[in-house]
Structure 1
Amino acid sequence: MGLLIAALHHAGLATLTHTPSPMRFLNEVCERPPEERPNVVIPVGYPAADARVPALTRKPLGEVLIEC
């Protein structure tokens, strides 16, 4: 999924992942059988001309890495 999002971003499209709960309504909306279960929704579109992306920072690796 990460490569898809990166490719969409590179193509100038805006996207995000969304996991609504419960997801069952998507089977009806997408006309899919009950044995198929959606996992994530990925809306894609062109951003507005004045759209702004928040500046997000990552935690330092030492805060999230556990060495064994």
Structure 2
Amino acid sequence: HYYVTESVGIATGFLIAALHHAGLATLTHTPSPMGFLGKMLGRPEHERPFLLLVVGYPADGATVPAITKKAPDEIATFVG
């Protein structure tokens, strides 16, 4: 199976976008190591957890912090 991690990551991104569109808030968490999760949930040894996704309704008045993006010339070098 090729690109399993990449495919799961992309699918998770779509799921998070859909949940946000539905008015839900999400939090991703990838504890290290993740092995405890499979054992705790009784999953087979060949299955590996990818991440924890916490989903719920945001509290009244909750806001997303304003995050400013860096200008392209601060993060890249353009040649040519």
Same fold by TM-score, threshold 0.5 exceeded? yes
Distance 1:44 1:4 in 2: 11
Could you tell me which residue of structure 1 aligns to residue 38 of structure 2? 27
- For CA contacts below 8 A with separation 6 or more, give which structure has more relative contact order: 1
Q: Which has the higher strand share?
A: 2
Answering whether residue 71 of structure 2 is matched by residue 56 of structure 1, we say no
Aligned CA RMSD, in angstroms, stands at 1.7
Change in 2 beyond 3 A, CA 1:67/1:40: farther
How many residue pairs are counted as aligned between the two chains? 68
Q: Which has the higher helix share?
A: 2
The one-letter amino acid of 1:23's match is M
Residue ranges of structure 1 left out of the alignment (5+ in a row): none
Distance 2:30 2:52 in 1: 6
- Length-normalised TM-score, structure 1: 0.80
Distance 1:4 1:59 in 2: 27
Shift of 1:67: 4.8
Change in 2 beyond 3 A, CA 1:67/1:45: same
- Length-normalised TM-score, structure 2: 0.70
| Deviant stretches of 4+, over 4 Å | none
Could you tell me which residue of structure 1 aligns to residue 21 of structure 2? 10
